[in-house]
Amino acid sequence: MENSELLITVRKKAQGWLTDSYDTETRTQVQSLLDKADPTDLIEAFYKDLEFGTGGLRGIMGVGTNRMNRYTVGAATQGFSNYLRKEFSHLEQIKVVIGHDCRNNSRKFAEISADIFSANGIKVYLFDDLRPTPEVSYAIRRLGCQGGIILTASHNPKEYNGYKAYWEDGAQMIAPHDKNTIAEVNKVRSASDIRFKGNSQLIEIIGEDIDKQYIEALTTISLSKEAIMRHHDLKIVYTPIHGTGVRLVPDTLKAFGFTRIIHVAEQDVVSGDFPTVVSPNPEEPAALALAVEKAKETDAELVLATDPDGDRAGAAVKDDKGEWILLNGNQTALLFVYYLITRWKESGRIQGKEYIVKTIVTTELIRTIAERNGVEIYDVYTGFKWIADVMRKNENKKHYIGGGEESYGFLCEDFVRDKDAVSACAVLAEIAAWAKDQGLTVYQLLQKIYLTYGFSKETGISVVKKGKSGAEEIEAMMKNYRDNPLTEIAGSKVAFIYDYARLKGYSCQDKEVLTLDMPTTSNVLQYIMEDKTKISIRPSGTEPKIKFYCEVHSQVKNTAEIPEAEKAALEKIEQIKISLGIY
């Protein structure tokens, strides 16, 4: 579409927001965009509708069809309500849970959503204040609800907010419910279609009772109570990065038996402005900087951090030189899987029906650990809803040990169906106590895993492409990689190419075409090298980024060889970047 045609279309859409169906403040802001000489902001706000995708909504807050506001949130809730009423028409009362994080407008959007659900005759359990995402998943199951939502944009910058929708099993929706909900949301074409006037009799405020039940349930997953008793005074620095973990993570650590939790006072302040960080993302070293400083001041042994909605956990530990290092998501996942399988095995719980789940972009060392210990391994797409899907299919048939992804998400329990940083923090602390019982630090335990199962180095690279033009660039990059497949990367021959958008694989050696056994397609391209190097390429589903996941493998005979293996892997990854044209 030419710019002049686009501007005409955009202006027409914007003018539709000047009717009496929209509140005065919204109309004023839209008129201001229309009056601006430079139409850039107007175009960005209206050039498309903020898509209600398979995970819900996520976008910059503001007026417009491409922004998070009371009307886009309202349309999502109205559409979801319509679908719930169709699917559960046989029930006397449909019920949902609503939670929210610390972000600006999250409480407002939660209350608007509660009004809309209740106006549609749906019973609402609304949390009294901010709560972690996994607790919403827990509450859906605990209260026997048919769905739920949480208002959060996870670790996105402060300008963003989001809306995640859940089904009756406490997991984010997959087919057919995701597609059917999207269809219902897309039918809501105007603010006049949204029932904003709530029914207060159908809205029940929940809070402390669910907190207690959730924490009590989490304590049942503890596998090393004696080790915790011996090392209860382990010094743990924890930061919620201004978010939802502020109370529940320390309370859960205490319930597990830990007595020395050290707070980062500046980051205990709940704020959607995230005043101490540029990005509230535990993947970013800067987000943990204050916590690491506090650890140095207090001679702590472990640093834990959670993102704003409390579903992803980051950690820092001391290396053998006493220097603090940040663990990446693959390393924490390795620690979880190794620890859980080891302890299950030691307690005689491995009976042949146990399984682990990981995503296709997560380290293959998890597969090695599972298979060598007689545990089944499932590979799924990025997104915890796919891990939850495996759990749903295996319920009452097989035993879930744990599941995770490289993006700092892990789930140790089966009564929640989304990644859980609250339990992850408690179990990471338990791992530290268990390692200490054996005379090991967490860092040394990780080295032990490398010596036993092989060394791997994983690096994630994100290329940011913002706005409409950025989305087009990302699309062009994916097309180029598909149309011009590489046969050699960084000096290593490609053995297999897997295209999950087509559900086809290709063996470069014998030219065999393979069918990929996955539940649906996904825009992911993956290269497997002859030397076991794995490279995955995918556009982010929640941010304006194209992501590259690089994993390099080698064998090490002793801990002295690990630094050299890491150095060689990093050099290889630099060469991979050149081969992919992202240097």
Lowest mean pLDDT among 311-315, 437-441, 461-465: 461-465
**Where are the domain boundaries for CATH 3.40.120.10 in the chain?**
48-206, 214-223+231-453
For residue 468, the model assigns a pLDDT of 79
pLDDT higher than threshold 80 for residue 488 = yes
Cα(216)–Cα(213) distance, rounded to whole angstroms?
5
pLDDT higher than threshold 50 for residue 386 = yes
Mean local confidence (pLDDT), 214-229: 98
pLDDT higher than threshold 70 for residue 153 = yes
Q: What sections of 129-256 are H helices per DSSP?
A: 133-142, 177-187, 208-219, 225-230, 245-256
pLDDT higher than threshold 50 for residue 497 = yes
CATH architecture group of domain 455-580: 2-Layer Sandwich (3.30)
Confidence of residue 565 (pLDDT cuts 50, 70, 90): very high
Two tokens, residue 322: 């006493």
- For the chain, what is the mean pLDDT? 96
Mean local confidence (pLDDT), 261-276: 98
Catalytic center residues: 154
Strand order in the sheet with 236-239: 261-263, 236-239, 302-306, 313-318, 324-327
Mean local confidence (pLDDT), 537-541: 89
Two tokens, residue 109: 């959007």
Torsion of CA 249, 252, 256, 260, to 10 degrees: 50
Mean local confidence (pLDDT), 416-435: 98
Per the CB < 8 A criterion, the answer to whether 243 and 280 are in contact is: yes
Per the CB < 8 A criterion, the answer to whether 403 and 387 are in contact is: yes
**Where are the domain boundaries for CATH 3.30.310 in the chain?**
455-580
SS3 content of the chain, % helix, strand, coil (to 5): 40, 20, 35
Q: Which residues contact 475 (CB under 8 A, 6 or more apart)?
A: 539
Torsion of CA 48, 50, 51, 54, to 10 degrees: 160
pLDDT higher than threshold 70 for residue 151 = yes
Mean local confidence (pLDDT), 355-366: 97
pTM of this structure: 0.94
φ, ψ at 467 (rounded to 5°): 70, -170
User: Residue 446 — left, alpha, or beta (φ > 0 → left; ψ -120 to 50 → alpha)?
Assistant: alpha
Lowest mean pLDDT among 135-149, 215-229, 468-482: 468-482
For residue 2, the model assigns a pLDDT of 55
φ, ψ at 364 (rounded to 5°): -75, -10
**Vertex 227, ends 223 and 232: CA angle to 5°?**
115
* Omega of the bond leading into 176 within 30 degrees of 0 (cis): yes
Task: Return the half-sphere exposure (C-beta side, CA atoms, 13 A cut-off) of residue 58.
Answer: 18
**Can you tell me which residue has the tokens 């290396």?**
319
Cα(423)–Cα(134) distance, rounded to whole angstroms?
9
CATH topology of domain 48-206: Alpha-D-Glucose-1,6-Bisphosphate; Chain A, domain 3 (3.40.120)
Confidence of residue 198 (pLDDT cuts 50, 70, 90): very high
The string of DSSP letters for 77-139 reads HHHHHHHHHHHTTTSS--EEEEEE-SSTTHHHHHHHHHHHHHHTT-EEEEESS---HHHHHHH
Helix count and strand count (H, E) for the chain:
18, 23
Mean local confidence (pLDDT), 342-371: 97
Lowest mean pLDDT among 111-115, 462-466, 518-522, 566-570: 462-466
pLDDT higher than threshold 60 for residue 1 = no
For residue 3, the model assigns a pLDDT of 74
Mean local confidence (pLDDT), 401-407: 96
Lowest mean pLDDT among 43-52, 416-425, 433-442, 536-545: 536-545
Per the CB < 8 A criterion, the answer to whether 145 and 97 are in contact is: yes
- 214-223+231-453: which CATH number, 3.40.120.10, 3.40.50.261, 1.10.3720.10, 3.30.2130.10? 3.40.120.10
Confidence of residue 560 (pLDDT cuts 50, 70, 90): very high
Cα(47)–Cα(476) distance, rounded to whole angstroms?
20
Burial of 377 (0-12, 13-18, 19+ CB in 10 A): middle
